[in-house]
Amino acid sequence: MRRYNRDTPYDPEHRASLARKAQPPKNLLAWFLEAYRAEAPEKIHASDVWRDRVSEDEARNGVQAVGGSLLGTPRTNDTFRRYIEDSPFSTEVAEYEGSKDRTGHYAFPLRAALVRLAGRGPDHTSYPFLARMLYRVALMDGDYESALAQSMKCTCGRDECNAVIPGVPQPLRQFAVEEALRRLWTKYEVEPPARTLRESAA
């Protein structure tokens, strides 16, 4: 229910968007990795660059910043929150031969979709877990077998939380990643909904 609140039911753009979403790309994993890489820091113009940051405390403990497509050790426990919290809904206006497009585009549409997918719950609940899982798949360059095999540490700090969320058993990994990608696709928007634009213009 909640996910449709932001849209006007009879908005033609909304209907076009629904039609588009009914036909996801044949290879969702390829789409996902391409979209992730397109938002990697080196591909984005300087003012909107996203960089991983390391606090002094983390630096003392040997934590290194992880950026975009620089793979290596995925320190997803810490980096996912930073990745999605850093103004993912910022927009930019495209210019076509001098004339500006009237509608803004998300500078980071994939990141915005991951934020929507994650919602606001603690990491040990379904949607934040799915979003983190996908982020890890991106960091590991699409190797979902390895990405989903690993456990995750929940950062919610609640007493009832077991703190460590186990990895997905091998027979379920393909289903899990396909379902997570399908849900991510339904959250993916290149342009912000019209209502948001009106609000921000007011």
* 3-class state of residue 191 by DSSP: coil
- The nearest distance, CB 166 to Zn ion, in angstroms, is 13
Match 């930073």 to its residue by tokens. 82
Vertex 115 angle, CA 31 and 39, to 5°: 45
Q: Which stretch binds Zn ion (CB under 5 A): 74-82, 121-129, 136-144, 189-197?
A: 121-129
Give 88-121 as a DSSP string: TT-EE--EETTEEPSS-EESSHHHHHHHHHHTTS
- The nearest distance, CB 4 to Zn ion, in angstroms, is 28
Gap between the Cα atoms of 185 and 191, Å rounded? 14
Q: Which stretch binds Zn ion (CB under 5 A): 58-66, 142-150, 153-161, 175-183?
A: 153-161
Is residue 132 near Zn ion by the rule CB under 5 A?
no
Figure out which of the listed residues 156, 176, 194, 197 binds Zn ion, where binding follows CB under 5 A: 156
Gap between the Cα atoms of 3 and 99, Å rounded? 33
- Looking at the Cβ atoms of 40 and 163, the one nearer to Zn ion is 163
- Looking at the Cβ atoms of 25 and 122, the one nearer to Zn ion is 122
- The nearest distance, CB 162 to Zn ion, in angstroms, is 7
Figure out which of the listed residues 124, 132, 173, 187 binds Zn ion, where binding follows CB under 5 A: 124
State how beta strands 91-92 and 105-106 pair: antiparallel
Is residue 161 near Zn ion by the rule CB under 5 A?
yes
Is residue 121 near Zn ion by the rule CB under 5 A?
no
| Token representation of residue 52 | 């991983």
Is residue 183 near Zn ion by the rule CB under 5 A?
no
Distance between first and last Cα of the chain: 27
Residues in touch with Zn ion (CB under 5 A): 122, 124, 154, 156, 161
